[in-house]
Structure 1
Amino acid sequence: MEAPTNTETRWSRVASSLPVRNVQDLATDSEGLTEETLKRYIRLDIQEDEVLAEHSGEVPVINLGKLFNPDFAEEESARLRFACEDWGFFQLVNHGIPEEIIASIRSDIERFFKLPLEVKNAYAQLPGDLQGYGQAFVVSESQTLDWSDMFVIIAHPNEARDMKYWPVKPHTFRKSIEDYSSELMKTAHSIVTVIAKTLNIDLELMGDKYVCQYLRMNYYPPCMTMAEKVLGFSPHSDGSFLTLLLEVNSVEGLQIKRRDAWIPVKPDPNALLVNVGDFLEIMSNGKYKSIEHRVTINTKQERLTLSAFHVPSLDGVVSPVTGDAEERALYTTVGVEEYSKLYMSNKLDGKRALDHAKLL
């Protein structure tokens, strides 16, 4: 096996996470599922937040094809601008990724997480590494843990890949990842092209802002006894420029924070869920918002998703772009590597990382 290149090492070691017990294994251990075992996962404050269930499914829907159709582009671009300004999230339909590629990656993710633990552990995170099968954002032995497992790889650029983490089981998995990653880069480019127009920003200024792609496969086991007391993912905004989420099995769980309440997002199997990341909020000078979101747990069904984080080059910087001389910059210029390390080396805590970039 080839030794990792400097590019691979630098990319994967932006931050690391402390090892914790596999949650999928814990969830199936009926004898070991005691209150003592679960105490690191229990959150006493979940019920304090209002959940507006009746608003489920109201996330704006954007048709990618219409964005590039002269007959509909102006109207659809206005909808995209509203979605980024007012919601920070939108469902992207007619995204152009072939159905067979979507079906393959969904099938292989489901099959991977059904593999025996010892097989999955062959891809376990190594000390000091971000990639692999395990966890993220675990920085102390005392913090409350999320009820989930994840598998992270860097898919783009090619020189940042560390192939020891690319699974050979299922045998089609590597091809599925490659095909999906490639198609998703095209989709991200299309979205950013229109976003640049809606912000009146030269597309060349955005050219290096989404060139790197992390894929994170998320597995949220059911929790029959204490689902209302645990979270699959703590409240956070994304330390990306743009995030594209694929619902693998369409089980509900994602909630976004809007006007101080949590709104459940109804999965759409035919759409990609897109959200604004911290770097885009900075570059847009706060016009487009990275929104807090969290994942709740189902009592009976597992939830699987694939998050694709498109982030700037580590060598780059992100600065707020103001519309004119009278518009005051609300954020400082941030180095991408510095911000990524800050974001990844702390436990998730709302938009706390972005607060470091805000100017008073």
Structure 2
Amino acid sequence: MEVEARSGGSSASEGRWSQSGTSLPVRNVQALAASAGEVAVDAMERYIQPGVDGDTVLAEHSDEVPVIDLAKLLDAESVEVEAAKLRFACEDWGFFQVVNHGIPIEVIAGMKHDIQKFFQLPLEVKNAYAQRVGDLQGYGQAFVLSDDQKLDWSDMFGLFSQPPQARDMSYWPNQPPNFRNSIEEYSSELMKLSHSLATFIAKTIGVDPELMEDKHVGQFLRMNYYPSCTTTPEKVLGFSPHSDGSFITILLEVNAVQGLQIRRHGAWIPVKPRGDALLVNVGDFLEIMTNGKYKSIEHRVTINAQKERLSISAFQVPKYDGIISPVLGSTEEKVLYKTMRVEEYARLYLSNKPYGKRTLDYAKLSQI
């Protein structure tokens, strides 16, 4: 399958997602990690996160992220029980793993292979796809907004992948040779999965699935590279604590190295990658739409002292010129969130370093 190349191909609405924020150019972390023995103290200082090594982490815990079987959701005999599990996962955890998701093994394998090969390319080759001023897409880092802020120990490569007319093909690499097709196939499969999940999520809260049709029409792929850190791994973070400015986020662990942690009951819980599953989490837009019933949970990424970690986050986002509003279960239910333009929330989220859930706090009504 050959991906159609559009130069600067953006639709009037969806293409504006990528122009909702920007990130300043900073040193490549992969190269910095490779020269760890020669890194100056002042260079490392920007990555040291004060107090992070003192956070409570429950490395051994009895609870595991709930597992949802999509095949059971699609089966009339098991859908009721599985939908109840899905409701619990969204209410209590804000995260779940989905198995039997329907994405062909070869599509996932191709995506994993090509993203690893991409990050192995020489820096000058990757820099040909570097982020440009005023655009979130491209190779670089996310949410670098000032010259003195603390930095995350990671590099990323971001693409606005859906809908097709919103793509800017100048960012889509020609190396590795099949990378464009791998992105196209994986992205398209994720859209099918997103539609299925949104349909069942709608049913769990008793609303017409059509109300969610425009809430996951866009997709931003962020391919993440977290180098190992041999000097102070316990004092740096691959991604600072945040919730996602998405409807849902679908995460693929590329090389099964642990690092993702979620905040639960005041502590950080490591998520153990499961090879046959994709990890899904509730985003801010879904929390607003469910009037707080489903939770967009803070999460972060820690760094391994010996191994690099790679992952691919797919942020399924609403129509840019749409409206996000709480859907109430009854006339007696108290409204907890504002009705907002998606554009307003997106610009606020993407133009600030997303510490914790502070953007979502902005969407809450004052009486909360």
Q: How far 1:358 sits from its partner (Å)?
A: 0.4
In structure 1, distance between residues paired with 2:63 and 2:303: 18
Counterpart contact for 1:319–1:334, Cα < 8 Å: yes
- What residue number does 1:208 align with? 214
SS across alignment from 1:54:
coil
Give the percent of matched residue pairs that are identical in Structure 1 and Structure 2: 64
Instruction: Summarize deviations over 1:141-190 as a string: whole Å, max 9, x none.
Output: 11100000000001101111000001110000000000000111000100
Match of 2:248 among 242, 248, 252: 242
SS across alignment from 1:263:
strand
- What residue number does 2:277 align with? 271
In structure 2, distance between residues paired with 1:156 and 1:342: 22
Match of 1:19 among 10, 25, 32: 25
- What residue number does 2:125 align with? 119
SS across alignment from 2:127:
helix
Q: How far 1:32 sits from its partner (Å)?
A: 3.3
In structure 1, distance between residues paired with 2:228 and 2:36: 13
How many residues matched?
360
SS across alignment from 1:274:
strand
Pairing of 1:59-70 with structure 2 (within 5 A) = 59-70=65-76
In structure 2, distance between residues paired with 1:198 and 1:40: 44
Q: 1:178 to 1:141 in 2, by over 3 A?
A: same
- What residue number does 1:222 align with? 228
The runs of 5 or more residues in structure 2 that have no matched partner are 1-5
SS across alignment from 2:287:
helix
Q: How far 1:348 sits from its partner (Å)?
A: 2.1
Instruction: Summarize deviations over 1:34-68 as a string: whole Å, max 9, x none.
Output: 22110000012112321001127710000000011
What code does the residue aligned with 1:160 have? A
Counterpart contact for 2:11–2:165, Cα < 8 Å: no
Instruction: Summarize deviations over 1:52-106 as a string: whole Å, max 9, x none.
Output: 0112771000000001111111100000000000000001000000000000000
- What residue number does 1:303 align with? 309
Pairing of 1:309-348 with structure 2 (within 5 A) = 309-348=315-354
What is the TM-score when the length of structure 2 is the normalising length? 0.96
- What residue number does 1:188 align with? 194
What code does the residue aligned with 1:344 have? L
- What residue number does 2:355 align with? 349
Counterpart contact for 1:57–1:265, Cα < 8 Å: no
In structure 1, distance between residues paired with 2:94 and 2:277: 16
User: Which segment is superposed worse, 218-227 or 45-54?
Assistant: 45-54
Counterpart contact for 2:15–2:167, Cα < 8 Å: no
2:36 maps to 1:30: yes
Counterpart contact for 1:55–1:264, Cα < 8 Å: no
- What residue number does 1:2 align with? 7
- What residue number does 2:296 align with? 290
Pairing of 1:43-62 with structure 2 (within 5 A) = 43-55=49-61, 58-62=64-68
In structure 1, distance between residues paired with 2:283 and 2:18: 20
SS across alignment from 1:309:
strand
Counterpart contact for 1:62–1:93, Cα < 8 Å: yes
- What residue number does 1:104 align with? 110
- What residue number does 2:152 align with? 146
Q: 1:3 to 1:212 in 2, by over 3 A?
A: closer
Instruction: Summarize deviations over 1:128-147 as a string: whole Å, max 9, x none.
Output: 11100011111111110000
In structure 1, distance between residues paired with 2:10 and 2:269: 43
- What residue number does 1:93 align with? 99
Match of 1:174 among 177, 180, 199: 180
Q: 1:82 to 1:9 in 2, by over 3 A?
A: closer
User: Which segment is superposed worse, 48-57 or 249-258?
Assistant: 48-57
Match of 1:72 among 59, 66, 78: 78
Match of 2:46 among 34, 40, 43: 40
Q: 1:96 to 1:56 in 2, by over 3 A?
A: farther
What code does the residue aligned with 1:252 have? Q
Q: 1:118 to 1:285 in 2, by over 3 A?
A: same
- What residue number does 1:255 align with? 261
Counterpart contact for 1:56–1:263, Cα < 8 Å: no
In structure 2, distance between residues paired with 1:199 and 1:73: 14
Counterpart contact for 1:242–1:311, Cα < 8 Å: yes
Q: How far 1:2 sits from its partner (Å)?
A: 3.3
Counterpart contact for 1:221–1:301, Cα < 8 Å: yes
Counterpart contact for 2:237–2:302, Cα < 8 Å: yes
Instruction: Summarize deviations over 1:97-135 as a string: whole Å, max 9, x none.
Output: 000000000000000000000000010001111100011
Counterpart contact for 1:57–1:264, Cα < 8 Å: no
